[in-house]
């Protein structure tokens, strides 16, 4: 257990803070957009599906 805590403090926690800093502008833009979480999820799903379909075509 102490190994996990040490790893969390030395590796995982700083990484989480780092990603929080990176994502701050994205979160701000999302909040300012007025878009709902469901709309954002749909947007990401649409983009993911487009990439999937493009890769599928390339493999053929």
- Chain mean pLDDT for the chain: 87
Which of 10 and 39 is assigned the larger pLDDT? 39
Q: What is the pLDDT of residues 29-53, one digit of tens each?
A: 999 999 999 999 999 999 999 999 9
The domain ranges of the chain are 2-59
> Tokens standing for 7?
């790893």
pLDDT of residue 17: 80
> Tokens standing for 48?
């993911």
Q: What is the pTM of this model?
A: 0.55
């Amino acid at each position: 257990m102490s190994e996990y805590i040490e790893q969390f403090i030395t590796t995982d926690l700083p990484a989480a803070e780092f990603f929080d800093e990176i994502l701050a502008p994205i979160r701000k833009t999302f909040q300012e957009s007025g878009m709902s979480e469901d709309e954002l999820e749909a947007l990401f799903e649409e983009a993911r599906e487009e990439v999937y379909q493009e890769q599928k075509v390339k493999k053929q």
